[in-house]
């Protein structure tokens, strides 16, 4: 979890890869569905394209259909509302919650530098600069700004984060599984903090995941 631009994507992918878990990002799934022009993709886009949240029923159904149940996953950008958090409890055992904390001004600066390759979904930014300007390293696609990264949509998304998503962190707090991570550091340093917490904290909260086995 974390406000827009706090580095969720980068940290979630690294965490999944290090701990042998599947990475699932609902935002990425929505963008992929939209690229493929599916009915769900077009419907969801009418919300996220305006800086709003996609309705809970649509989002929960999508997540449920893509989440591997037999092994662990790092879920990025979900749950974003209390009904989503309640629904997730019915689907899996939530073992750990990471909250990346960063000032809005820094998030805005990072988002101004964020680029995406729509064909292959690779993201670029201050922490990952493409070898050739505005071209994707993987597929040579043209890089663009995310259409929801405009100043007006960003402030709408921040407001939604505060009203809908911050209560979700409070929802998990009594379980003692929430780690507050200082995201105002270089990605490697943030990831060190993530690992420190996972290795010490999460293995107690959720012994099914043993990072030692992955090394």
| 3-state secondary structure labels for all residues of 6-75 | CCHHHHHHHHHHHHCCEEEEHHHHHHHHHHCCCHHHHHHHHHHCCCCCCCHHHHHHHHHHHCCCCCCEEE
Judge whether 115 counts as a catalytic residue: no
> Contact letters (x/-) for ligand AMP, 56-85, by CB under 6 A?
---x-----------------xx-x---x-
180: annotated active-site residue? no
- Answer yes or no: are the C-beta atoms of 209 and 72 closer than 8 Å: yes
Output the smallest distance, CB 9 to ligand AMP, in A. Answer: 7
- Residue in 14, 80, 110, 115 annotated catalytic: 80
Tokens, residue 70 = 């037999």
Can residue 7 be called a binding residue for ligand AMP (CB under 6 A)?
no
Is there a contact between 95 and 208 (Cβ–Cβ < 8 Å)?
Answer: yes
Closest residue to ligand AMP in the complex (CB): 27
The residues in 127-156 that bind ligand AMP, with binding defined as CB under 6 A, are 148
Can residue 27 be called a binding residue for ligand AMP (CB under 6 A)? yes
Provide the total of helices (H) and of strands (E) in the chain, helices listed first. 11, 7
Residues within window 87-126 making contact with ligand AMP, judged by CB under 6 A: none
Q: Counting contacts by CB under 6 A, is residue 30 touching ligand AMP?
A: yes
Binder of ligand AMP out of 4, 6, 15, 121 (CB under 6 A): 4
Residue 200: CB minimum distance to ligand AMP, A: 27
Among 14, 45, 115, 157, the residue binding ligand AMP under the rule CB under 6 A is: 157
Residue 139's Cβ-count burial label (10 Å; 0-12, 13-18, 19+) is exposed
Instruction: Output the CA–CA distances (angstroms, integers) from residue 173 to 35, 99, 167, 195, in the order listed.
Output: 36, 11, 10, 20
**What residues are annotated to the active site?**
8, 80, 114, 146, 157
């Amino acid at each position: 979890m974390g406000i827009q631009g706090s580095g969720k994507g980068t940290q979630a992918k690294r965490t999944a890869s290090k701990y042998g878990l599947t990475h699932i990002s609902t935002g990425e799934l929505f963008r992929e569905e939209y690229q493929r022009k599916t009915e769900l993709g077009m419907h969801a886009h009418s919300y996220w394209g305006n800086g709003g949240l996609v309705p809970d029923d649509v989002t929960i159904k999508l997540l449920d259909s893509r989440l591997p149940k037999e092994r662990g996953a790092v879920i990025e950008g979900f749950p974003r509302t209390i009904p989503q958090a309640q629904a997730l409890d019915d689907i899996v055992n939530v073992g750990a919650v990471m909250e990346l904390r960063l000032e809005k001004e820094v998030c805005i600066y990072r988002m101004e530098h964020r680029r995406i390759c729509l064909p292959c979904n690779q993201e670029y930014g201050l922490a990952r600069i493409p070898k050739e300007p505005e071209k994707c390293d993987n597929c040579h696609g043209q890089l663009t700004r995310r259409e929801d990264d405009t100043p007006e949509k960003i402030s709408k998304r921040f407001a939604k984060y505060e009203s809908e998503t911050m209560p979700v962190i409070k929802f998990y707090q009594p379980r003692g599984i929430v780690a507050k991570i200082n995201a105002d550091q270089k990605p490697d340093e943030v990831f060190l903090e993530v690992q420190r917490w996972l290795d010490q904290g999460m293995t107690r909260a959720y012994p099914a995941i043993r990072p030692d086995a992955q090394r």
